[in-house]
Amino acid sequence: MSETLLVNALPGEMRVALLENGEVREIHIERSAGRGLVGNIYSGKVVRVLPGMQAAFVDIGAERTGFIHQSDLAEAMSAKSGNGTERHSAIGDYLRQGQKLLVQATRGPLGDKGARLSSSLSLSSRCLVFLPGSARLGISQRIDAAAERARLLSCLREALALEGLGESGGYILRTAAEGSDLATLRAELRYLQRLWARVRRCSQESTAPGLLYADLPLHLRIVRDRAASTLERVLVDHPPSLQELRDFCGEYLPELCERLQAYRGERPLFESFGAEVAVREALERRVELDCGGFLVIDQTESMTTIDVNTGSFVGGADPVETVLQTNLEAATMVARQLRLRNLGGIIVIDFIDMSGREQRRQLESALRESLQRDPSPTTFSGMSDLGLAIVSRKLTGKNLLQTLGEECPRCLGRGAIKSARTICYDIAREVNRVARTGEKVELLVQAAPAVVALLRGEEAPCLAQVCAATAARVRLQPEPLYGQEHFDIAML
């Protein structure tokens, strides 16, 4: 598998697209006005403790207070009881209002919710993740070879001993560490220790709330995390960003320097490689399949639902094979859309129902195989008797729709607005309420042109009956700038 990174920059916005074998798999967008909080370390101030929820709100200096749960304080709150087992205190025994607390954002703000926080901190380099306060050594599950896993862990222990860092904290070897030598790990250990010393110094010198450490900007972060033998090139259309990448790789990833290339094509970078089309399609509710079927993707605050339909695909003479082929193609597309749209949380997929056990087994196998290529932790727990597949995917921040979109001012997030005919009856009821004084009144009704046209046409008898019953006179005035649901009634 070959990978290409496309880096497209404008003042205030950075976009990075990941191509695998020429196909767009991931889109990442970061804007300076709303740069993500995930990975940032803060000196926070506890503003409210909620014993009933075993949680607390922490002011980190952001627009909304962050949220920390007892499970994110587990290491700090756990203590040994008399018989040697661990016990956990109530959150109120550990946190109090006004207390200063060192925290890290593990999930960005979503909707009206603040960032999710943790007191278990981590700092990343290319090959290692440093866990202050921990004592464990771990290794990425994506490094499969047992011999390489054993070699890397042995190499890490030797590097820690040579650097005198035996009890400095915990470390996890990342996927990018595969093939690393002792000198590389020692250099990264020194870098992480310098970084952690700076965070601690800032924590001691600053007052809460405040930012102590911000993660790397998007293009540097993606290159750091994707640095592997499969990464063939990084195309950049912005000279200052290219220079930042060259400086960064020259210090930390010298083997990537030759793969950094300036893009000088006539067409825009994202347009040349199909990334612009991928962004547009990832904002659509409907996703077409090559076979003629389609997916319908609906995102809500708590979950995402995906409905699979055969559409225009009629297949061959065997309807069972038609359904199976559609479902198999849909399974591959679902996995691709989860990565492309950065969908997280609970995803419920309604595949077309299949009664055959062998066909269901093939579908489950295809979905599992497709999800295994996703770098984000993803769990598939099997299919129900109704053909529903439930997938959970780690939620790390805003999805693509939340990043690029906003709540519709017309429907206010409902996904639909009242019909013009419904608004006509709303107006009739409001006229009836306002004019029920027993006195003759003259009212001016201002509404959208489509609503006024109905009130003067098909719905005129309804409004006339209301006027007759209340002795009111109504004058209709179309307002082209009004939304369909907006109307005003005033006395003249």
pLDDT tens track for 94-137? 888 999 999 999 888 877 788 899 998 999 888 899 999 888 89
Helix axes 319-341, 357-371, angle to 10 degrees: 20
Judge whether 260 and 247 are in contact, CB under 8 Å: no
For the chain, the domains span 3-35+217-276, 41-213, 285-404, 420-491
The CATH homologous superfamily to which domain 3-35+217-276 belongs is: eRF1 domain 2 (3.30.420.60)
Q: Which fold has domain 41-213?
A: OB fold (Dihydrolipoamide Acetyltransferase, E2P) (2.40.50)
β partners of residue 103: 42
Q: Is the pLDDT of residue 285 over 50?
A: yes
pLDDT band at 438 (very low <50, low <70, confident <90, very high): low
Phi-psi label, residue 266: left if phi above 0, alpha if psi -120 to 50, beta otherwise: alpha
| Widest pairwise Cα distance in the chain | 95
pTM strictly above 0.85: no
* CA dihedral sign, ordered 400, 403, 405, 408: positive
The DSSP secondary-structure symbol of 110 reads B
pLDDT for residue 474? 93
Between residues 63 and 25, which one has the greater pLDDT?
25
| C-alpha to C-alpha distance for 43 and 62, rounded to whole angstroms | 12
Give CA 232 to chain center in angstroms. Answer: 27
Query: pLDDT tens across 73-96, in order?
Result: 855 555 433 444 445 568 888 888
Residue type, 429: R
Across the range 174-187, mean pLDDT stands at 86
Judge whether 111 and 150 are in contact, CB under 8 Å: no
pLDDT for residue 169? 86
Return the exposure string of 349-381: e unless at least 16 CB atoms fall within 10 Å of the residue's CB, then b. Answer: bbbbebeeeebbebbbebbeebbeebeeebebe
Judge whether 37 and 59 are in contact, CB under 8 Å: no
Q: Which residue has the tokens 């109120």?
A: 92
pLDDT band at 314 (very low <50, low <70, confident <90, very high): low
Residue 205: other Cβ atoms inside 10 A: 10
Give CA 316 to chain center in angstroms. Answer: 39
Query: pLDDT tens across 362-413, in order?
Result: 999 999 999 988 888 889 988 887 779 999 998 777 889 988 888 888 887 7
In sequence order, what E strands does 112-173 have?
A: 116-118, 123-124, 128-131, 137-139, 170-173
| C-alpha to C-alpha distance for 51 and 70, rounded to whole angstroms | 10
Query: pLDDT tens across 232-281, in order?
Result: 999 999 999 999 999 988 887 788 899 999 999 999 999 999 999 999 99
pLDDT for residue 294? 93
| C-alpha to C-alpha distance for 36 and 338, rounded to whole angstroms | 19
Mean of pLDDT over the chain: 87
pLDDT band at 464 (very low <50, low <70, confident <90, very high): very high
Fold match between domain 3-35+217-276 and domain 420-491: no
Could you tell me the CA-to-CA distances from 87 to 73, 75, 82, 83 in Å, in that order? 13, 11, 10, 10
Q: How many CA atoms lie within 13 A of 225 on its CB side?
A: 16
Between residues 204 and 313, which one has the greater pLDDT?
204
What is the second-level CATH architecture of the domain 420-491? 3-Layer(aba) Sandwich (3.40)
Could you tell me the CA-to-CA distances from 203 to 133, 178, 207, 212 in Å, in that order? 16, 34, 8, 7
Q: 348 Cβ partners below 8 Å, 6+ apart?
A: 303, 304, 305, 306, 388, 389, 390, 391
Residue 111: other Cβ atoms inside 10 A: 9
| C-alpha to C-alpha distance for 351 and 367, rounded to whole angstroms | 11
DSSP run (H or E) holding 392: strand 388-393
pLDDT band at 225 (very low <50, low <70, confident <90, very high): confident
Phi, psi of 469 (to 5 degrees): -75, -25
